[in-house]
Structure 1
Amino acid sequence: MSNNPSQLPADCLNEIFEYLEDDKISLHSCLLVDRLWCGVSVRILWRDVWTFKYTVPIQYRLVVPSQIFNTLIACLPNESKELLYKNGIFITTQAWKSLFNYASFCKNLSIREVDLMIRHSVEKQQNSTSHNVNFYKYLILQEILKMYMSQISSLKSLDYDLEISKTVQNILFTYFPGAKNCLSNLSVFSCDSNICSEFFFQLSQICQNIQSLTITFENVISNGLSDLISLQKNLRHVTLIAAYGGENDWTEIITSLARFPLTKLKIFGYDAYMPLSFLSTFTYLQEIILSYDDTDILDFHKLQYVEFPHLQILKFQYAFPKVEMLIKFLEINGKYLTEFYVGYHNNSLNLAVAKSCPNLKKLYLIFMKNELETLKLVFNSCQHLESIKIVCGAKYLREKEMLDVVSKYSPKNFYELKVDNYTQSKLLPEEFESFFTSWNDRKPQKSLSLIIVFVFNDDIGLYVNDENMKIIEKYRKLGVIRKLGTESFEEI
């Protein structure tokens, strides 16, 4: 125990701070308390430090990567610093010696984020028109990756999706000292399809325990990618992304995936379409997410009669199948679903959900303003429902009427309401207060989570009305609202 009776020991602090792993702002604040708090929280913060910049106010979005970059440069071994210096790379960092070996704490490595930091720093400090800039970036990235490979004892996640960057593609960091130990237990891997075959071959010799794989398909699909897939032992989750302008032949990759009992499959088609008939071979799927730019999922007819006895989550973003096909699919598989998401209105589909999906816990459907009875029917039929996302305004449901139905007809386990305002909120304060009063009188009592859906910098939702916000705060203090949050329109 600590000599200071008022101070928690390190193991207790560690257990507490683990709950803050996704709250980078709070973790960063813990660094500043004292030496003990700093020593415990820094290890958790630096597991996945790349997401830190997305949690701070926008005016600090460039400051945070610069600080992370300077810290990494300060952590480089002396031989790396000397190599950079000899090649004319002069990077100003803090004069103090690093308190910790920050690189060794990393469990989730994003090479793209490292590359972005380097590009920003080099192009800012060096003459961006010089032919040496690309070499500078290459050399710095090489030395940072070399440090990571030697310092990380066991990496969990590797993001090698480079988007437009080509700086790193010729750095075969799988050959660096320590890479075998670092990468052997990798369980989450994201990559571009056109990374050189040699890298995929080397990784396949080191790492055979990938459980979650994300592939962004470019115009080239490296030969080694299918070999890497084939040698895995525990692959369960796969995300396939058709990049803009990519012309992809998926055959070999799909063949490599076919032998795995996949439980989660996500397909994102951006200006490209991926045929879906192959899904029928993955009967162990528990989750299917389809996101296409087109307005219609063309070949869903090949799936409408296929049974997926383990399927629990089905989501469509933007594009959707023809309604009659989707209804037929729900007649077969709806009884298995616990989550269903489709951002498209069709009252026949809504009625089919009420009829065929009795075990739903989370739901997103579109209801028109004259379809309150359909919403009641969904609530009455789906008695396990815990969360629903509803669009309000214009031709969609009126807020007051929607809230009345939610308070009176939602099932006893219901606790989360997501409100997506299509037009400016017209909800009056007294109407809002009436809803919370009615909710508080429900039996059994259950605190409500209220989520406001926004589109970019949305200024039409409930947040706009100051009086409504005062009411929300009032019922938060009373415990009627247990959570108030926001959600991007694109979150599925």
Structure 2
Amino acid sequence: MSTLPGDCLAQIFSYLDEDSKSLYAFIRVNRLWCVNAIKYLWKQPLRFALILKSTPDYTLRHRTKTGKLTETFIKCLIHNEMVSGGDIQNKRRRSPRVPLVSPPLFNYIGFIRRLDLDDLGLAIAEWAEYISSPKYNRNSSLVKVRNVVFSVLIQQRPARYKSIKDFREDKSLIKELTVRICELLINQIQKLDYLSMKPSKPFPASEIFIIHLMKDSWFNIITREYMSIINYPHANISLSHLVEFEWDESRTEAESSSRFLIDLSLVCTKIQTIRFDMNKSQTHDLLISEALQLLIESQTRLEEFELRNCGLFSYHIMHGLKTRASTLKKLTLRKVSPLSLEFISDIAYLYNLEELRYYEGDLLSKDAWPLSFTHFPKLIYYEIDDLFPTSITVNPDAVISDSCPMLQTFIYNQKRYYKAESTALIMRSVGFHCQFLRHFECNAEICSIDLLKLVFLSSPNLETIIITNDRVSLNIDGLLLLTQLKNLKHLELNGSWEFEVEPLKRFLINSKPPLSTIVLSENKCFEDSHLQVLLNCLKGVLTTFHVLKLTKRLSIDMRRQAKEDIEDFLYKRKTNVVED
């Protein structure tokens, strides 16, 4: 490994950019490893420091680490500003206090590519708690560092405070520090790829984080200040190449969020991914929707959009997406409940979609869902999960194809609301228009085996089948006799599916599938004879076999035989791999 060139090391480390422990170990191997690993460790350093922020596991020990990291972060900002000749005057470099903010080993700020505003605010608040702690103030060298940082940032020394209590009660100081740190940060980041606001959940949370949620806490003061980060002088440069934007509305007011989105739309035009969580916002004044529409329409490369926890009261967001139909490839709606069906009818016009997901929305209708696959000739992934079945008013002009040749994954799960008409309409659409499915998953009211026949006969290349039948007992003998699935690798049957031994045997002999995983749950017909057929026909193939809540109990001998056959095959395969 010591002879590998830096380019190879960088390629390897890029796969571990989420693993802070490994990256931290890499920087201590040698200089070459350090140079190539440090940029991934500092790509989003605050997230690593606050990885436990939403859990009770965040302790005072973690606060100390966060405080030290933030102090390093701030000292790097100060040093860079001194070197560049900014408004922190160069004369301070000759000051006896300057050695306390000695030059860092690397320009860490130059490595930052991802910034979460919630993490930034929490890091500053945790640093403020850290430098005001009794343990910190008992160390004279640390106090000198703090005084230098304060005096250089805002030309104000905290030495005048007689007690920590007086320091903590000065709210104006933390406000000034926040503004100064954010100004320096935006001024020195040359290119930011990712910007987000993802607040930590209040419960369960660490006890030491609860203080940040109080009304007059330092953190709330910090939050109000960094919302203006978009208006800092250098923001049009550092944010102009933004690729990914994620926002959670839970901790900001509608007016400030909408202003931020509008300002961002004036600066960024190349965002490829937008994820927006309205946090079940009931914003009838439409401020957020209108601002989000402006942000969407200003992007020339938007490929992925996700909207969560939203009561959709207008057409603005969908009209904005319609203008991006030429570039948009992925659309995800999670717990989005439109007030009117016409607010989401523009989905049909997104003709370049490759992935469409809709989870847990209430569309206030009991009619069938007729959104045809023929609207999306490039669709690869389609998932409807726990969505109230509905009809969407669709303009026939939106239908631009008579098939969906690219669809490979189809998932339709209706656990809360189900209707046979909806299921039948969608299944027929799959059978008629989608011939290249690889993954088929359905948990809905399937009233006829003919629907499954239509799908399985038209999609002979299926690799994964997961079907659930909790309502009507269905016999699939005819389906097994007619179907050949030569690529089937994963089969999961949940609920009351009935099938005899002979049809099962015929299906396995005719198909000869590489069926490595079988899962059966709540089945009423499966017996020892069925298991024997599986072991005989899938010998040397089957690696995973799970049965849950079967009505008929399998004998101990058959269970033992199945376990021995599978373990023997796995052992032989492992041995062969080692020998090769």
TM-score range, shorter chain: 0.5 to 0.7
For residues 197 and 71 of structure 1, what CA distance do their matches in structure 2 show? 32
Structure 1 residues 414 and 320, CA gap change in structure 2 (3 angstroms): farther
Deviations 1:319-378 (A, max 9, x none): 364322322432454336544444446364655542454454555432579879579859
Shift of the alpha carbon at 1:317?
A: 2.9
Q: Which deviates more, 358-367 or 117-126?
A: 117-126
- Once the two structures are superposed, the pairs formed by residues 306-345 of structure 1 within 5 Å of their partners are 307-319=375-387, 321=389, 322-335=422-435, 337-344=437-444
Is the Cα contact below 8 Å between 1:191 and 1:216 reproduced in 2?
yes
Distance 2:172 2:568 in 1: 55
Residue 158 of structure 1 and its aligned partner are, at CA, apart by 1.4
Given residue 446 of structure 2, which amino acid in structure 1 is its aligned partner?
A: N
1:113 maps to 119
* Aligned mates of 1:410, 1:265 — CA distance in 2: 39
Which stretch of structure 1 is more off in the superposition, 150-159 or 273-282? Answer: 273-282
Q: Secondary structure at the match of 1:228?
A: helix
* Structure 1 residues 152 and 280, CA gap change in structure 2 (3 angstroms): same
- Whole-Å separation in 2 of the counterparts to 1:155 and 1:308: 33
Q: How does 1:223-302 map to 2 (within 5 A)?
A: 223-243=290-310, 247-261=311-325, 262-269=328-335, 275=341, 276-292=344-360, 301-302=369-370
When Rg is computed on C-alpha atoms for both structures, the one with the higher figure is 2
Stretch moving more, 370-379 or 355-364:
370-379
The question of whether the paired residues in 2 share the 8 Å contact of 1:330 and 1:357 is answered with no
TM-score relative to the length of structure 1: 0.67
Q: State the distance in 1 between where 2:33 and 2:234 align.
A: 30
- Aligned-partner Cα distance in 2 for 1:150–1:420: 59
Is the CA contact 1:25–1:55 (under 8 Å) kept in the aligned structure 2?
no
Structure 1 residue 42: deviation in Å?
2.2
CA-to-aligned-CA distance 1:413-465 (integer Å, 9 cap, x gap): 86875969899xxxxxxx99x989986724xxxx97x799xxxxxxxxxxxxx
Which letter does structure 2 place at the counterpart of 1:154? K
Amino acid in structure 2 at the alignment position of 1:114: L
- The worse-fitting range, judged by mean Cα deviation, of 346-355 and 47-56 is 47-56
What is residue 181 of structure 1 aligned with on the other side?
237
Measured against aligned partners, the alpha-carbon deviations of 1:265-290 in whole angstroms (never above 9, x if no partner) come to 10001677784422111122111111
Could you tell me whether the CA contact under 8 Å between 2:318 and 2:347 is conserved in 1?
no
Of 316-325 and 338-347, more deviation after overlay is shown by: 338-347
Name which of 44, 63, 68 aligns with 1:70: 68
Q: What's the counterpart of residue 465 of structure 1?
A: none
The answer as to whether partners of 1:359 and 1:383 remain within 8 angstroms in 2 is yes
Q: Is the 8 A contact 1:311 1:337 kept in 2?
A: no
Structure 1 residues 408 and 360, CA gap change in structure 2 (3 angstroms): closer
Say whether residues 1:441 and 2:571 are aligned partners.
Answer: no
Distance 2:71 2:22 in 1: 25
Q: Paired residue for 1:12, among 4, 8, 11?
A: 8
* Deviation at residue 237 of structure 1 after TM alignment: 1.1
Tell me the equivalent position of 1:86: none
The one-letter code matched in structure 2 to 1:146 is E
* 1:31-430 equivalence runs, <5 A: 31-49=27-45, 50=47, 67-68=65-66, 70-77=68-75, 98-118=104-124, 141-162=178-199, 168=223, 171-192=227-248, 194=254, 195-217=256-278, 218-220=281-283, 221-222=287-288, 223-243=290-310, 247-261=311-325, 262-269=328-335, 275=341, 276-292=344-360, 301-304=369-372, 307-319=375-387, 321=389, 322-335=422-435, 337-344=437-444, 346=446, 348=448, 350-366=452-468, 373=476, 377=480, 380-381=483-484, 383-385=486-488, 390=492, 395=495, 417=517
Match of 2:89 in 1: none
CA apart distance, 1:149: 1.9
Q: Distance in 2 between matches of 1:137 and 1:436?
A: 69
CA contact (8 A) 1:187 1:211 kept: yes
Match of 1:455 in 2: none
Amino acid at match of 1:200: L
Counterparts of 2:181 and 2:522, CA distance in 1: 47
Which residue identity is paired with 2:9?
L
Q: Tell me, which stretches of 5 or more residues in structure 1 are unaligned?
A: 82-93, 424-430, 453-467, 483-492
CA contact 2:354–2:379 (8 Å) conserved in 1: yes
1:231 is matched by which residue type in structure 2? Answer: S
Please tell me the residue identity of whatever aligns with 1:257.
L
- Residues of 2 paired with 1:480 and 1:408: CA distance? 27
Q: Which amino acid aligns with 2:34?
A: C
Rounded Cα–Cα distance in structure 1 between residues aligned with 2:67 and 2:261:
27
Change (3 A) 1:46 1:347: farther
Offset of residue 264 of structure 1: 0.9
Q: Which has the higher helix share?
A: 2
State how far apart, in whole Å, the 2-side matches of 1:121 and 1:477 are: 56
Q: Give yes or no for contact 1:386–1:413 (8 Å, CA) kept in 2.
A: yes
Question: What letter corresponds to residue 103 of structure 1 in structure 2?
Answer: I
Report the CA distance between 1:249 and its aligned residue.
2.0
> Given the superposition, is the C-alpha separation of residues 207 and 329 from structure 1 closer, same or farther in structure 2, using an over 3 Å criterion?
same
TM-score (norm 2): 0.58
Note closer, same or farther for the CA distance 1:96–1:135 as it changes in structure 2 (3 Å cut).
same
Letter in 1 for 2:426: L
Question: What amino acid does structure 2 have at the position aligned with 1:285?
Answer: L
CA distance in 1 between partners of 2:545 and 2:466 (Å):
13
2:23 corresponds to 1:27: yes
CA offset at residue 257 of structure 1?
Answer: 1.4
Aligned to 1:487: none
CA drift at 1:103:
3.3
**Number of residue pairs matched?**
432
The CA deviation at 1:146 is 3.3
CA RMSD of aligned residues (A): 5.4
Cα distance between partner residues in 1 of 2:112 and 2:237: 14
What are the superposed Cα offsets for residues 296-322 of structure 1, whole Å, 9 maximum, x if unpaired?
A: 985653415753221111123333643
What is the alpha-carbon distance in structure 1 between the residues aligned to residue 345 and residue 296 of structure 2? 20
Distance in 2 (alpha carbons) for counterparts of 1:52 and 1:379: 58
